[in-house]
């Protein structure tokens, strides 16, 4: 009878060790696949239109600063920055952008600023925006913009911290 109990406890211990090893390996595989998926998603940190491939939906980024409303760009005034085509309404706007793209491009690569403040990435809507402190902020929705405007400083600090986290593995993210 003593031998049977010993065999049973030895089998039970081996089974438990096998289960621990199995779950540890499965957990490692899940973590590694999540890490690779996150890196793949962040290879291009600038939001582009899924149909045209243009940044910020094909709007002229300089027009946000010079006009009362953003103006749609034209393909003949294209400039490539960070591997993404940006289009402009005229040659002068293209040339101004080329001199200082970090000034005229939307902050956070065109992702929704309030979404970033809340800890997730969402594409900014080029029609829902604010120019604050000389920078273009895009938002997913009007309600996101309103929430951001209620607590600009704290929302910006959270969004900046999360942007740094999200882009840590991306190569050459825009400022």
Rounded Cα distance between 92 and 152, Å, is 32
pLDDT in the model for residue 159? 95
Same domain, 149 and 121: yes
Same domain, 111 and 163: yes
Which residue, 66, 68, 69, is CA-closest to 94? 66
Q: Of 64, 81, 101, at which residue does a domain stop?
A: 101
Residue 175 located in a structural domain? no
Q: Which domain holds residue 74?
A: 46-101
Rounded Cα distance between 19 and 157, Å, is 44
Residue 174 located in a structural domain? no
Q: Is-contact 86 78, C-beta < 8 A?
A: yes
Number of domains comprising the chain: 3
Residue 83 located in a structural domain? yes
Q: How many CB atoms lie within 10 A of CB 98?
A: 14
Same domain, 31 and 2: yes
Same domain, 92 and 64: yes
Which residue, 124, 122, 115, 123, is CA-closest to 147? 115
Which residues of the chain are modeled with pLDDT < 70? 1-44, 169-175
The pLDDT tens digits of the residues spanning 18-63 come to 555 554 444 444 434 444 444 334 335 899 999 999 999 999 999 9
Same domain, 58 and 29: no
pLDDT in the model for residue 45? 86
């Amino acid at each position: 009878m003593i031998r049977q109990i010993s065999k049973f406890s030895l089998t039970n211990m081996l089974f438990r060790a096998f289960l621990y090893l199995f779950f540890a390996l499965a957990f490692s595989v899940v973590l590694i696949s999540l890490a690779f998926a996150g890196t793949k998603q962040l290879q291009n940190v600038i939001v582009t239109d899924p149909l045209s491939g243009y940044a910020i939906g094909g709007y002229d980024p300089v027009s946000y600063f010079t006009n009362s409303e953003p103006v749609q760009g034209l393909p003949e005034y294209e400039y490539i920055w960070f591997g993404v085509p940006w289009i402009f309404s005229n040659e002068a706007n293209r040339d101004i952008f080329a001199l200082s793209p970090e000034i005229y491009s939307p902050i956070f690569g065109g992702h929704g600023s309030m979404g970033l403040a809340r800890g997730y990435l969402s594409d900014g809507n080029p029609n829902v925006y604010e120019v604050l402190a000389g920078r273009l902020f895009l938002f997913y929705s009007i309600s996101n913009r309103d929430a951001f405007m209620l607590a600009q400083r704290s929302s910006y600090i959270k969004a900046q911290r999360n942007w740094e986290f999200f882009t840590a593995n991306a190569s050459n993210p825009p400022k």
